[in-house]
């Protein structure tokens, strides 16, 4: 019998889910609201996803380099506009006691002829000494031995299909030959690098073959210099020493700085960042308008009920909290389908374009925060209708 008073107290303290009841009272209106919020969320997911995916895609090759520091010409602005610098600058870095090894790299876009339909398309060519470490791709060192034969290339099997069925033909045992700048080359193997924003495909060649394909390359010139440090070396300290000792015709970057250099070009020197950020902002505004209209209509339709509760002694802050909880529920319910749809659309984009568009936690949290701000801000604006209402005038 002693348990009954405790249960009665719990029963008396129970809260009626008024916000939920108000939202579900008109299912059609709720469905429209959730559809609008989800649409805004999907739009923001896609805009942010495209923006970040393109920035990440711009450094597909950069992040695979087997290097701690990178040398570039000050005249280089991006992966699609690389300038050369004297190779001896890279050799000079070996004088630093913490430099363990170097790899000179040629980098340029060349015209690849599709071996099936004979169309041409720009592809990124990287030239290096086959015995030097270049990329952190498993098995590359063994595959690179074939590049010692003049005219041989390694083709990126993750390149876009517009370059032809190179990977399929090679796996089938066929001899795959093509042309670059009117010169015949033969595919000696496959690698998996991935497309980037600046290049839809990649090939690896020896320095000898590269110079044969691009005979106008200045002698002794390279576009990228890779530097590997000894274990335990201080990157920042070595970079400072190299900057102080090398002439000003080269810039020294960490590997991450090299990647940031590329991303900054696409972010600041092109309209990509602005366009996709503007698209996300438009989705946010559309969502705000939809949620505000739904909540404003809900408050207006239930003004007599709210006035009755106020006349019964309920505080205005309590009723405003009901509207705020409606906004919170709309944010939660609208975000879930937007997140699910975003995952599906990201998979579709990856399949169609091979761009690295993935759902990550920071973006998921950002979009949820924007949806929450959108719904709570709209709820706050709708609350003004309730706060300005005079119970005497309503009745």
In terms of pLDDT, which residue wins out, 245 or 311? Answer: 245
Q: DSSP letters of 278-313?
A: HHHHHHHHHHHHHHHHHHHHHHHHTHHHHHHHHHTT
Question: pLDDT tens, 336-355?
Answer: 999 999 999 988 888 877 77
pLDDT band (50, 70, 90) for residue 314: low
The residue behind tokens 């920035």 is 55
152 forms beta bridges with 186
Which among 219, 208, 207, 220 has a CA at the least distance from the CA of 88?
220
Count CB atoms within 10 A of the CB of residue 95. 10
Distance CA 123, CA 359 (A): 28
Q: Yes or no: say if 217 and 77 are a contact pair by the CB < 8 Å rule.
A: no
Which pLDDT belongs to residue 8?
46
Which pLDDT belongs to residue 10?
46
Q: At residue 181, does pLDDT exceed 80?
A: yes
Count CB atoms within 10 A of the CB of residue 249. 11
Which among 87, 323, 312, 295 has a CA at the least distance from the CA of 210?
87
Instruction: Cite the beta strand spans of the chain per DSSP E.
Output: 69-72, 85-86, 99-113, 120-128, 152-156, 177-180, 183-191, 202-206, 221-222, 224-229, 251-254
How far is the first Cα of the chain from the last one, in angstroms, to the nearest whole number? 46
In terms of pLDDT, which residue wins out, 189 or 305? Answer: 189
Query: SS3 for 121?
Result: strand
Which pLDDT belongs to residue 191?
95
Distance CA 385, CA 362 (A): 35
Distance CA 211, CA 61 (A): 21
Which among 321, 258, 257, 307 has a CA at the least distance from the CA of 105?
258
Q: Yes or no: say if 113 and 178 are a contact pair by the CB < 8 Å rule.
A: yes
Longest Cα–Cα distance in the chain: 99
In terms of pLDDT, which residue wins out, 52 or 238? Answer: 238
Distance CA 153, CA 155 (A): 6
| Cα atoms in the 13 Å half-sphere on the side-chain side of 358 | 6
Q: Yes or no: say if 182 and 154 are a contact pair by the CB < 8 Å rule.
A: no
Percent of the residues in the chain that have a pLDDT greater than 90, as a whole number: 45
Question: pLDDT tens, 218-275?
Answer: 888 999 999 999 999 999 999 999 999 999 999 999 999 999 999 888 877 777 777 8
Overall pTM surpassing 0.75 (yes/no): no
pLDDT band (50, 70, 90) for residue 12: very low
Question: pLDDT tens, 357-381?
Answer: 888 898 899 999 988 888 888 777 7
Q: For residue 120, with 0-12 CB atoms within 10 Å meaning exposed, 13-18 middle and 19 or more buried, which class applies?
A: middle
Mean pLDDT of 63-67: 93
Question: pLDDT tens, 130-180?
Answer: 999 999 998 999 999 999 999 999 999 999 889 999 999 999 999 999 999
Which pLDDT belongs to residue 6?
53
């Amino acid at each position: 019998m002693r348990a009954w008073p405790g249960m009665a107290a719990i029963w008396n303290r129970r809260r009626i889910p008024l916000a939920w009841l108000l939202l579900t009272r008109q299912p059609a209106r709720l469905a429209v609201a959730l559809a609008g919020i989800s649409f805004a969320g999907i739009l923001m997911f896609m805009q942010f996803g495209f923006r970040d995916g393109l920035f990440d895609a711009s450094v597909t090759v950069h992040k695979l380099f087997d290097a701690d520091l990178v040398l570039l010409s000050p005249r280089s602005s991006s992966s699609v506009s690389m300038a050369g610098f004297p190779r001896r600058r890279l050799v000079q870095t070996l004088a630093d006691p913490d430099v363990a090894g170097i790899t000179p790299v040629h980098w340029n876009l060349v015209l690849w002829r599709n071996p099936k339909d004979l169309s041409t398309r720009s592809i990124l060519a990287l030239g290096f000494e086959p015995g030097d470490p270049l990329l952190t791709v498993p098995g590359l060192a063994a595959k690179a031995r074939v590049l010692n034969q003049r005219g041989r290339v390694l083709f990126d099997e993750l390149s876009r299909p517009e370059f032809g069925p190179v990977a399929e033909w090679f796996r089938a045992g066929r001899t795959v030959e093509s042309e670059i700048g009117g010169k015949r080359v033969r595919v000696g193997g496959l690698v998996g690098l991935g497309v980037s924003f600046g290049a839809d495909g990649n090939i690896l060649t020896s320095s000898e073959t590269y110079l044969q394909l691009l005979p106008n390359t200045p002698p002794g010139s390279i576009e990228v210099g890779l530097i590997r440090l000894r274990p335990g070396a201080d990157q920042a300290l070595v970079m400072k020493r190299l900057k102080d000792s090398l002439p000003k015709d080269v810039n020294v970057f960490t590997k991450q700085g090299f990647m940031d250099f590329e991303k900054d070009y696409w972010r600041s020197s092109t309209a990509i960042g602005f366009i996709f950020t503007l698209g996300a902002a438009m989705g946010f505004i559309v969502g705000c308008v939809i949620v505000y209209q739904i909540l404003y209509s809900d408050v207006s339709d239930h003004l007599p009920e709210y006035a009755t509760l106020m006349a019964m002694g309920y505080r205005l802050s309590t009723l405003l909290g009901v509207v705020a909880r409606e906004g919170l529920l709309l944010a939660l319910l609208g975000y879930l389908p937007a997140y699910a749809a975003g995952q599906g659309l990201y998979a579709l984009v990856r399949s169609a374009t091979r761009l690295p568009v993935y759902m990550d936690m920071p973006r998921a949290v950002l979009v949820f925060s924007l949806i929450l701000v959108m719904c709570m801000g709209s709820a706050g604006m709708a609350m003004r209708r309730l706060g300005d209402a005079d119970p005497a005038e309503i009745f």
